[in-house]
Chains A and B, each alone.
Chain A
């Protein structure tokens, strides 16, 4: 199932399938690992609901909703989302 990265819930995992961001932020995102095919995991939202933190290539990166909305995710169906007690 495909969705925008901004719609991911805490604990959900997926793979990047498309990156529509434009301009400087596009290259920046690619430089820190947001390339097509990379798995990401939503780690949680800030107390005020935005930005959201994602685990990507071993690092936690926070993005604002405007930016993560431009990234499309394919949910990992094999690795079903398990809600662990601390998530």
Chain B
């Protein structure tokens, strides 16, 4: 749901819901639920939209924390990643499960989708089994109403014994309906009943633990998880509940014995019995609660027929991409030019003023050419495309189109022994590769997740995107539609390379067959146009301005010093770029460009400013007002169409930025994988550039 400062960069990897700074006397409420039920919408509604705007594709993969003020008190809310059950199978689901079991929340609010209540109740029943009191929040009531579904909240409350509220969190203040319910006491009247074998076993384990200080509910939950969960989790659970090693060992033997006994009978297993009992309990709890009146509307399937149709699916996907890129290039043109002019005249004014009051030339140049010019570049070239591209992309995401992209493309990923959800992590990569790397948690299979992680940086992130637009419009395209076309081809090429490398990886070091997966296609929802646009544009602006202040201004200062202070025969920058000139030329670039990419590792936004700085230090440009002037500067320094093409290719395929590298290190926990994530794109970029240069020499 748009990038925010908390969903990108290093922060994206860090919010893993640890002890989360809960203050004394403050209540902690965890929001749990299936994916796509609007947990984050409820969360945003309660905590104010500044707190957290979700991760890139609207998937909360790491969780977030925010506060809500009620009269004198504050309530701390934790937004958990979506999960279908407490039986975690992917990294994001373990975050949710562990928080529900060990997070120390005072209460759990389970958010449900009114349109598929029964499915959602599988999780509700499990959470009630684990904790006894929870609040059930039936969200998306408006959507269900449109489908002719009504949920009998009173009957559900009476049946469950815990507070139930109905809301449409997307509508203004309705999320606040949750607050009074949180105050109401509750004790679950429903529970999951298992087959006699399992119930006997639970009694045995409870008897064994008797006197250990665990409640009956805790003992029951513990016994059940011994049957169906991984030992790492049950070990933690045992420690958490204060179960002695001896009792833990004995209960495990009991569990193993039961598992064996059940598996000895045809068509039975402990896991199946538990899953079936849960499904039955969910069906019983929701039976007769949802009433269908009137027909389901056909709009959804019509839209799906178009967007995932055999003939129309792919052309529409391409057309949408082209359209978004065209709007971005076209729309950014004017504000970009305006901002550059503004900064140029500001620089001029500051220079005049400072020189006028008699300051020496050196500090004035440092401020004007170093700080103001680099900051000006970052803001004027980066901000407008970002402020247009991301809101548009967020709209697509908000209406539920992105999972359809994964649905359409899955066959391609399967052919490469990868997961279709990789398409989603690639979309996240558009925003920020670090966020994309964290997003790979949605992929269940560790092998496929690693493939997605290693190839994520092939998607140009928001730091590189405007750079591509700038170079393409300077050298290859005079009109907006042409730029957009070239960009679309470039992105297609990057997707192709992603598939190719995924294929190569799964044929060599990451051998394996495509694993099973399920992909939920949420209903299309009318995007919250105004809210998305305002929030996304604001987020972008704040993000880019923040980056400009934090990165561009200080690096501008340092760079100018490096470019202008004498060092040996030239300057530090010229010495460094001289060293890199040979490999740079080999790749059809030059030393300056290569140096810029190296120095731009903390933030790709500053790559072009570094190039500018190096070239201007040679004395050929006095002022920079537009892309035209920049183009002149570049061609004066030997840029040809080949240089520009290689620049574009290398922008897409080179080492990830330092934040992404750190994130990959954290996500994989392996130095080897991190090294591969750096080397693979670099090698591809190098080879591509060399090939282009060779071809250009031949023809």
Contacts and interface: CB of A to CB of B under 8 A. Distances in A.
A44 B520 contact: no
A58 B519 contact: no
B408 interface: yes
Contact of A46 (B302, B411, B514, B523): B411
Contacts of B523: 60
A64 B308 contact: no
B129 interface: no
Interface string B513-555: 0111111111100000000000000000000000000000000
Contacts of A36: 276
B84 interface: yes
A61 B414 contact: no
Interface in A16-50: 21, 24-33, 35-36, 38, 43-50
B271 interface: yes
Nearest to B317: A47
Nearest to A51: B410
Contact of B275 (A24, A31, A48): A31
Nearest to B305: A86
Contact of B408 (A24, A47, A57, A59): A47
A58 B286 CA distance: 13
Given A27-B87, A27-B275, A47-B309, A32 B411 contact: no
B271 A62 contact: no
A53 interface: yes
A47 B314 contact: yes
B368 to A, nearest CB: 55
Contacts of B272: 26, 30
A38 B113 CA distance: 19
A33 B113 CA distance: 14
B279 A30 contact: yes
Given A47-B408, A51-B407, A64-B410, A57 B519 contact: no
Contacts of B302: 86
A27 B305 contact: no
A51 B519 contact: yes
Nearest to A60: B521
B519 A61 contact: yes
Contacts of B622: none
B410 A62 contact: yes
Contacts of B174: none
B594 to A, nearest CB: 40
B275 A57 contact: no
Contacts, number: 129
A31 to B, nearest CB: 4
Given A46-B308, A46-B411, A47-B310, A30 B516 contact: no
Nearest to A66: B516
A87 interface: yes
Interface in B109-132: 113, 115-119, 122
Q: Chain A interface residue count: which class?
A: 35 or more
Contact of A86 (B117, B301, B308, B310): B301
Contacts of A56: 119
Contacts of B113: 58-59
Contact of A53 (B115, B309, B521): B521
A67 interface: yes
A24 B523 CA distance: 26
A68 B116 CA distance: 21
A26 B228 CA distance: 12
Contact of A58 (B116, B309, B310): B116
Contacts of B218: none
Contacts of A3: none
Interface string B393-410: 000000000000001101
A63 interface: yes
B301 A32 contact: no
A47 to B, nearest CB: 4
Contacts of B122: 31-33
B697 interface: no
Given A32-B84, A61-B518, A51 B420 contact: yes
A79 interface: no
A64 B517 CA distance: 7
Given A53-B308, A66-B516, 19 more contacts: A24-B444, A25-B518, A27-B271, A30-B272, A30-B276, A30-B279, A33-B119, A47-B313, A49-B411, A51-B411, A56-B119, A57-B118, A57-B119, A61-B519, A61-B521, A62-B407, A62-B410, A64-B516, A86-B302
19 contacts: A24-B89, A25-B517, A28-B518, A31-B275, A32-B518, A36-B276, A43-B301, A44-B304, A46-B407, A47-B408, A57-B116, A58-B119, A59-B119, A60-B521, A61-B518, A62-B521, A63-B518, A64-B514, A66-B516
